[in-house]
Amino acid sequence: MISSHTKKQIYAGIIASSTCLLITCVLTLTSPTNIKAGVLTSPSIWPAMCRHFSLSVDASLEQETQRQIRWHRRHPGAMKDMTENAQLYLAYVFQQTREKSLPAEIALVPFVESNYDPFARSAKGAAGLWQIMPDMASAHGLEINDLKDDRRNVIKATHTALNHLLYLKRRLHGRWDYAIAAYNAGEGRVRQAIRASNKSGGKVPWTKFLPAETRRYLPKIFALKAIIQHPKRYAINLPNIDVDTYFSNSPIHRTYAFSQISDICKIDSDLLHKLNAEWRGHIFTEDNKTIILPISQSFSCKKKLSRIPMFSNRWARHKTKSTDTIKSLGTLYNTNPSTIAGINSLGNTKLCHRRVLMIPKNSQGIPPLSKDASLAAAIAATDLLGPTKISHIVQKKDTVHTISKQHDVKVGHIAYWNRLRYPYTLTTGRTLVIWKNVKANVRYTKYVVQPGDTLSQIAKQHKTSVNRIMQVSNLKDPRKIRPYQVITIPK
């Protein structure tokens, strides 16, 4: 027997497919595969996504979905702002949903999570396009350290998020609406909502028992879907985004500086940082093994990089010896020692033996990461928000249960963070990752800028002044704040 919910999803899929065929015909005349200036452009992504929309709106969410659509109609420019970041990443995310046979609505989740900004952070500690929390990153093998944050890497983060969504769907009765809600609120909260609805005999929808934020989460996604399906009905122009993936993942065998690759390959440095957003500084190391490049320049760039010598007129690639110090390297390359330390993210004057350093020759200062001050701050952000990471070295008599009591965390969480399998056998000397919530500094609080926010509105909301926020957040221009930027608010 097919459940009534499954039937609804099948009917919704048929209707969506039929609607999308009409939209495809209309959009094909205007945006995809046109010849502009003698160049054949790629088809638009919107008809392709529309063909693979398959989820139906729960009746209990219809009213909120319509409210979100009305908001977009009052702010028709919002779609343009939302898709500005997505130009680089949406096609890749959509392609990944197709490879895993997922509904195309999943590709809309990063719009709601981060505005498709790989540098987005939340006050709770989430980061990247998919707003992955540190504990989830540990569970999926993503690195977070002073040099890089893999949650900001579009390829690794997308792989992690899609696998987690599939896991949630399997755990929650095979329903995508449950899984997407759980991605926002957590599996436990959704289970509680389902149980509460069942206790009412189904008279009260499960969505009524969700947190307020999650009750708006699914409608935001369904509102975007409706606008993509019927842009003319809602008088909203959809910016053109190519259906073809913008970038490719290319192998590298050396450590490079971003500005070095920018000079050699003639690729904008800001673009390189946005494509390789996991790196917090001026360089990325050969340990990463790959670099993300615009697909149109990938082949020529790899060829150029393979030809450059270890030393060039502007850069030296130096593998440290036991006798090296930052001061001696500064003398050798006529470069300020603080510049060497800053570019290579060296916290002190001690150098690890045989570490590869990128050293700009004849340089007396650290160049900015970007001419855009807000982007530079986002790239370099190291003030990790949210839970604090604790490393626990397993002792001889330790068990998962004794460690959970010691740190006041659940056994299941320790197993999840460290990918332990039951019966949770531990090896003496192994380092376990523990994530704990620590009380925030009472003098300050962190605030994540929302689309449409102004600094004066934020100041009024927190009963402080614009000047005080600018001072503690190190802001130079009150007009230059961007959505999902994290700022400090004095209490």
Instruction: Report cis status (omega within 30 of 0) of the bond before 423.
Output: yes
The answer as to whether 238 is a domain residue is: no
Q: pLDDT tens digits for 427-471?
A: 899 999 888 776 544 466 777 787 778 888 888 888 888 888 887
What single letter denotes the amino acid at residue 50?
C
Other C-beta atoms lying within 10 Å of the C-beta of residue 299: 12
Query: 3-class DSSP state for residue 307?
Result: helix
**Is residue 16 pLDDT above 60, yes or no?**
no
Note whether 215 and 277 are same-domain residues.
no
The Cα–Cα gap between 432 and 417 comes to 8
Predicted pLDDT of residue 256: 84
Note whether 269 and 309 are same-domain residues.
yes
Q: pLDDT tens digits for 158-213?
A: 999 999 999 999 999 999 999 999 999 999 999 999 999 999 998 999 999 999 98
The answer as to whether 465 is a domain residue is: yes
Average pLDDT score over residue span 48-54 = 95
Predicted pLDDT of residue 311: 56
Is the Cβ–Cβ distance between 111 and 261 less than 8 Å? no
The number of folded domains in the chain is: 4
Return the active site residues: 113
Q: Is 52 exposed, middle or buried (CB count within 10 Å of its CB: 0-12, 13-18, 19+)?
A: buried
Q: How confident is the model at residue 110 (pLDDT cuts 50, 70, 90)?
A: very high
The answer as to whether 284 is a domain residue is: yes
Residue 211: partners with Cβ closer than 8 Å, 6 or more residues away: 185, 189
Note whether 68 and 109 are same-domain residues.
yes
The answer as to whether 347 is a domain residue is: yes
Worst-scoring range by mean pLDDT, 280-294, 307-321, 365-379?
307-321
Note whether 207 and 91 are same-domain residues.
yes
* Domain harbouring 418, CATH code: 3.10.350.10
The answer as to whether 479 is a domain residue is: yes
The pair phi, psi for residue 460, each rounded to 5°, is: -65, -40
Note whether 393 and 351 are same-domain residues.
no
Note whether 90 and 133 are same-domain residues.
yes
The answer as to whether 241 is a domain residue is: no
| Of residues 220 and 461, more confidently modeled | 220
Is the Cβ–Cβ distance between 378 and 485 less than 8 Å? yes
* Distance linking the first and last C-alpha atoms of the chain: 58
Tokens matching residue 286: 């050969």
Query: 3-class DSSP state for residue 239?
Result: coil
Q: Of 364, 318, 362, 321, whose CA–CA distance to 344 is shortest?
A: 318
Q: Of 222, 199, 278, 277, whose CA–CA distance to 58 is shortest?
A: 222
Note whether 102 and 193 are same-domain residues.
yes
| Global model pTM greater than 0.75 | yes
The answer as to whether 237 is a domain residue is: no
The Cα–Cα gap between 170 and 164 comes to 10
The answer as to whether 381 is a domain residue is: no
- The whole domain housing 323 covers 247-374
The Cα–Cα gap between 166 and 119 comes to 25
Residue 330: partners with Cβ closer than 8 Å, 6 or more residues away: 336, 337, 339, 340
Is the Cβ–Cβ distance between 52 and 98 less than 8 Å? yes
**Is residue 39 pLDDT above 60, yes or no?**
no
* Domain harbouring 44, CATH code: 1.10.530.10
Note whether 88 and 135 are same-domain residues.
yes
Mean pLDDT value across the chain? 83
Predicted pLDDT of residue 333: 87
Is the Cβ–Cβ distance between 264 and 110 less than 8 Å? no
Average pLDDT score over residue span 44-55 = 95
Average pLDDT score over residue span 108-126 = 89
